[in-house]
Amino acid sequence: MDNSNNEILIKEKVKLFGVVQLVGFLLAIYLVTQIVSVLKEYKYIGTGVQAGSTIFVSGEGEVFAVPDIATVTFSATKDAKTMELAQKDVTDRMNSAIDFLKTSGVMEKDIKTTNYNAYPKYEYQRDTEQCASGYCPPGRQTLIGYEVSETISVKIRNTDDAGKIIAGLGKLKVSDISGPNFAIDDEDTLKAEARKKAIDDAKAKADVLAKELGVKLVRVVSFSESNGNYPIYFSKSAMGMGGDASEASVAPQIAKGENKINVNVSISYEIK
């Protein structure tokens, strides 16, 4: 009787052990499956979840603003027999121009030398008096003098003074007066405003398109942006272009107009 009970107990233990083994085996398979699934997802880390169907929309935003700075450039150039004479002439004229700018209310930080050149000038010369019987000895490069030039860029923050400053520079024997180029000193705020308008425009288009297609917008899949600053052109008469700058004795009337800040966005939405 005892032997029979022992045999039954042993059989039950064997069955229980087998069940435990089976459960452990199935659990191991499940864990391996989960691990493989997680490892597969690693390659998507940083790239986002792959989107299904998508729609693509674009939007545009524009902001207009009156320019608050004007940039003017001008130069002085001198040819002379010696480098010292050429440099002195250019330095004297540019120093006079800088003094004039400062007395006109331009801050020193807004006056910047953008280019300075000083180099010798040579000329190819041949002594024709030594020519004989149709033969002339080779010529040679001969130093004939020096050329010095300097270019300055000035930022005028009181744009109403741009015409007066251009006229004043013309009296100081500087040349190649160019400008004014009107711009907005701090465009970041205006670009942010234009960007918001562009995004709102794109969102509105996406909502209409989704409604017409009978789908729902899920999330933004991609976004890109391009922007630009486009001046509304103004008259450039009497700006020191196309003539002798020294003749610009009368302050030209210069219209600032407006600058257009334009932002274009492209957005892809996942739909379902």
Tell which CATH architecture fits domain 51-67+185-272.
Answer: 2-Layer Sandwich (3.30)
Per-residue pLDDT of the chain (272 residues; tens, 9 = 90+): 555 666 666 666 666 666 667 777 777 777 767 776 655 544 444 455 565 789 999 999 999 988 989 999 999 999 999 999 999 999 999 999 999 999 999 999 999 999 999 999 988 877 666 666 666 767 778 888 999 999 999 999 998 888 899 999 988 889 899 988 898 888 888 999 999 999 999 999 999 999 999 999 999 999 999 887 655 544 444 334 434 444 445 666 777 788 889 999 999 999 98
Q: What is the 3-state secondary structure (H, E, C) of the chain?
A: CHHHHHHHHHHHHHHHHHHHHHHHHHHHHHHHHHHHHHHHHHHHCCCCCCCCCEEEEEEEEEEEECCCEEEEEEEEEEEECCHHHHHHHHHHHHHHHHHHHHHCCCCHHHEEEEEEEEEEEEEEECCHHHCECCECCCCEEEEEEEEEEEEEEEEECCHHHHHHHHHHHHCCCCEEEEEEEEECCCCHHHHHHHHHHHHHHHHHHHHHHHHHHCCCEEEEEEEEEEEEEEECCCCCCCCCCCCCHHHCCCCCCCCCCCEEEEEEEEEEEEEC
Output the pTM of the full model.
0.59
CATH code that applies to domain 69-183: 3.30.70.2970
pLDDT of residue 179: 84
pLDDT of residue 32: 67
pLDDT of residue 18: 67
pLDDT of residue 257: 80
Tokens of 254: 């210069």
Q: Where are the domains of the chain?
A: 2-44, 51-67+185-272, 69-183
